[in-house]
Structure 1
Amino acid sequence: MNDNSTDLSAFGIGVDLRDGYAEVGDGVRLHYVEAGTGPLVVLLHGFPEFWYGWRRQIAPLVEAGYRVVAPDLRGYNLSSKPDDYTEYTADKPAHDIQQLIRVLGAEKAPVVGHDWGGSIAWTLAMNHPEVVDRLVILNAAHPRKLNEGLKNPHQLERSWYFFYFQLKGTPEHHAERHNWEFFVHFLRDAQPPYTDDELDRYREAWSQPGAAKGMIDYYRAAVRLGSKQKVLTIATPTLVIWGQQDRFLGADLAEPHAEDVPNLVRVERIDGASHWVHHDEADRVNRLIIEFLGADQPRADA
């Protein structure tokens, strides 16, 4: 697992980091960063981030006594990048994470997901509930709510890039030609703003061979094949954290239907926070996650 361990101190996370690689089947190899000891917690980043998107959460979770693992999702940074967009339907990266949890030696773990990582976390909890101890979702609509939202003209306007990303080759080539400023545009709402050093780390990740295409192929798969996703009831205790000033997703998408997530503990709406709620309100988000993971909530199998 940790066959390519390197010194990650330059990332400035505040705790000792270890990186490793996990073979998760179907020729896919996930890169991940790990810190701490204790019960496992898995953090799933969104677009256009990579594991580094959790830089404000890793140390607080380690200090709270957890072993934190933040993978690069398939298609991102140092993980495998299947070439066909059909390899990016939500069930396939969800299967990657199920296998990753097993490879890491755990039977189950809390899973925290933001944006696309949240979409994958929803799917993981539907398809592989046996490995998800608790579920924390940050600004990622439940699949049924997202499909409903994309029929709304106001949400369609917010989600314009879903359709731009359907153009073959154009979005990734445009982004690369202009020093990835198109991807930076998606991050501009975060407060405090990403520093030049942080953006350089993102540009390095986006510049990995095949990464830009892999990242965008999630959108191609969602638009072309997403309606085929089967929606199953999620019995896992679930916390949703939602930045109310999300430029991409309307606040009406925050709360899943009760029948889809009957063990929803609550939706914590954070006024003034953008789509990048884990950066905007890092201390509050960290506190909410740690309290939820440690709380005596009823279990899905209780």
Structure 2
Amino acid sequence: MEIEARGLTFGVVAGGPEDGVPVLLLHGFPQDHREFDLILPRLHAAGLRTYALDQRGYSPGARPGAVAEYRLSEPAADAVAVLDALGVDRAHVVGHDWGAQVGWLLAAQHPERVRTLTVVSVPHPRALAEALRSELTQRLRFAYMGVFRSRIAERLLLARDGLVLRRMMSAIGPRAALYARAMAEPGRLTGALNWYRALSRGQLAGVGRITVPTTYVWSDGDPVVGRAAAEATGAWVEAGYRLVALRGIGHWVPEEAPQALAEATLARIGV
């Protein structure tokens, strides 16, 4: 379906029983709503109604031109507006990668809209900010962001049919080509990269403590987030909290370990 919100048009894929408890799913880079395809059958079988949102930059009708329009506060406001348009007062929220960052911000600033939070791969922004300050290894893990923020990023990532993107996501096999092909759509990759270009450490430092029940799913094979930031996340959650550490899994948890993620999500939701 297409949802009009904040003067933009967002693609939202709905599934599961229409009277089920709502779950909002927020994807990361360079994916889209399809990254949750492998966990949806478990959620639907549990009676949940899912809404997988293609976020700004990814939905063709939601690609503002200015980099400043991709600050984290903007996609967080989008999520609230989409829930409003769907007539959903409160939802369970599941977010991966950039979607996790949006989920943290939603739960911190709009706890009345979030029943539970399941965040995947990316830790609480304050835990991440501290790790970036104190851990050289974490700063080195984030070195790729300089490339993604550069003027050559589009050219580099789209060269040779998205070879860099496909190699980056090689752990998910042929599904990587789905996202690489999608990024060739005019304007899509620039919109997606503008999330990186708009990011500042001040945005990370501004996210407060979380007061909704939260599960953080981290994987020890993730090249992006190290153990220090993962283990520090619990200090920023004042409600029920669980860290699920997956062994031998990389960054693309929803597609590398869908069953483990579905179990962790259902356990947090309580169904």
TM bracket, shorter-chain basis: over 0.9
1:46-125 equivalences under 5 Å are 46-125=28-107
Deviation at residue 98 of structure 1 after TM alignment: 0.8
- Contact 1:243/1:276 (<8 A) preserved: no
What is the letter of the counterpart of residue 254 of structure 1? Answer: A
Q: 2:145 is matched with which residue? A: 162
Q: 2:210 aligns with which of 234, 256, 259?
A: 234
1:205 to 182, 188, 203: 182
Bigger drift between 57-66 and 198-207 goes to 198-207
Could you tell me which runs of 5 or more consecutive residues in structure 1 were left unpaired when the two chains were aligned: 1-19, 296-302
2:120 corresponds to: 138
Counterpart contact for 1:30–1:71, Cα < 8 Å: yes
Aligned partners of 1:75 and 1:215 also within 8 Å: yes
Structure 1 residue 264: deviation in Å? 4.1
- Whole-Å Cα distance in 2 between the matches of residues 97 and 279 of structure 1? 23
Aligned length: 267
Work out the CA distance in 2 between the residues paired with 1:172 and 1:77: 18
Structure 2 residue aligned with 1:217, among 185, 194, 201? Answer: 194
- The answer to whether the 8 Å contact 2:28/2:96 transfers is yes
Give the root-mean-square deviation of aligned CA atoms: 1.6
Matched, 1:34 2:17: no
Aligned to 1:13: none
**In the aligned structure 2, how far is the partner of 1:21 from the partner of 1:255?**
38
Name segments (4+ residues, structure 1) moved above 3 Å.
Answer: 255-259
Residue range with higher mean Cα deviation, 152-161 or 134-143:
152-161
Structure 2 residue matching 1:94: 3-state secondary structure: helix
Contact in 2 for aligned 1:40/1:68 (Cα 8 Å): yes
User: Within the alignment, does 1:194 sit opposite 2:173 as a pair?
Assistant: yes
Structure 2's unaligned 5+ residue stretches are none
The answer on whether the counterparts of 2:141 and 2:224 sit within 8 Å (CA) in structure 1 is yes
Greater RCO, CA 8 A, separation 6+: 2
Checking the alignment, whether the CA contact within 8 Å between 1:77 and 1:205 is kept in structure 2 is: no
- TM-score after normalising by structure 2: 0.93
- Shift of the 79–241 alpha-carbon distance from structure 1 to 2, 3 Å rule, reads farther
Q: Which letter maps to 1:199?
A: A
Preserved contact between residue 123 and residue 233 of structure 2 (Cα < 8 Å):
no
What is the match of residue 277 of structure 1? 253
How far apart are the structure 2 equivalents of 1:264 and 1:247?
A: 27
Corresponding residue to 1:290 among 258, 266, 269: 266
Alignment match, 1:23: 4
Q: Which whole-Å CA distance do the structure 1 matches of 2:230 and 2:145 have between them? A: 19
Q: Percent identity?
A: 30
